[in-house]
Chain A
Amino acid sequence: MPPESGVGLTPETAVCRIGGGSIANLRLKPAQEALRPPGFSVLLGGAPGDAAEQMRQAFPDPRKFARLHLLAETVGTATVAAIRAAGFDVLPDPSTKFPNHARIINPGGVAGFSDANLERLARAFTDTPTPGR
């Protein structure tokens, strides 16, 4: 299944977070807090393995991007509906390299990414091992 562009985002649209859906991997970094609105990157559509492979192909050197390639061995998957039910939202943010890029945001901004809220969000994700080939 090809990645979705964000157009036609439906409640059933798959939302993939490279590195999995743990609270630690969902917590905002300073650069993500500075975004307007604040949020972290996810990929829309496809299976967990597709998202991991898309990332590996976009950043192919396993040495420069060692941290990312390590993260890509696990992908957390949720749906738009489950993320909204947890009090967050999905904002499509397509780029040339990642037409299916989006950000998970919270109506409360940075404050919305509290540990209590992130616990709810983490429960929306299911982690899948996605080892490289």
Chain B
Amino acid sequence: MSLRHLQPISLQDKQDRDLGRVVIERVEHDVVFGRFTPGPAYPQVERLFAEYVDAANDQLLGTVAALDERIGALGLRLHSADGAAVPAIYDVQVGDGVITFRTRPAADESPFRDTAPRTSVAGAGVRPEAPTG
């Protein structure tokens, strides 16, 4: 299974709010890149993502950590219109019409059939936060 076969998919939160439409473009290592079109509920969370981008660009890594928690608490998930199974996601970053996130593959299946070879980089092996919602 490739995530590209799951389209169209939408981004929802734990309250089932429709935050936007996601079109997967590529997968690099464990990061999925896609185009993001805001949905009706996105304005309610847009500020969080905008603050996140600003904090990262300013190297305010303590602020990034706090925003990571707040974004994680949204319980973001993918939703496939045709009911297909979708992987759990975390580390969702949205801005400039682009969404990136990481997935947790099912134990018996990897969504990364189109994944580029992993590079060996110190620090890259540190797994980001577990999903918080």
Total number of residue pairs linking A and B with CB closer than 8 Å? 105
Q: Find the A residue at minimum CB distance from B98.
A: A61
Cα of A98 to Cα of B64 in the assembled complex, Å: 10
Scoring A residues 27 to 44 as 1 if CB is less than 8 Å from chain B, else 0, what string do you get?
001011001000011010
Q: A3-B123, A50-B122, A54-B121 are in contact. Are A64 and B62 (CB under 8 A)?
A: no
Do B60 and A31 touch (CB < 8 A)?
yes
Do A95 and B65 touch (CB < 8 A)?
yes
Q: Find the A residue at minimum CB distance from B50.
A: A64
Question: Cβ of B95: which chain A residues have Cβ within 8 Å of it?
Answer: 61, 64
In this assembly, does B59 line the interface, its C-beta being within 8 Å of a C-beta of chain A?
yes
Do A40 and B59 touch (CB < 8 A)?
yes
Q: Find the B residue at minimum CB distance from A96.
A: B129
Q: A60-B100, A96-B128 are in contact. Are A51 and B123 (CB under 8 A)?
A: yes
Question: Cβ of A71: which chain B residues have Cβ within 8 Å of it?
Answer: 59
Question: Cβ of B56: which chain A residues have Cβ within 8 Å of it?
Answer: 58-59, 65, 68
Stretch at the interface among B26-34, B39-47, B77-85: B26-34
Cα of A6 to Cα of B60 in the assembled complex, Å: 18
Most A-side CB within 10 Å, residue of B58, B93, B119? B58
Interface residues of A (CB under 8 A from B): 1-3, 18-19, 29, 31-32, 35, 40-41, 43, 46-47, 50-51, 53-54, 57-61, 63-68, 71, 93, 95-101, 103, 133
Interface residues of B (CB under 8 A from A): 28-29, 31, 33, 53, 55-65, 68, 91, 93, 95-96, 98, 100, 119, 121-126, 128-129
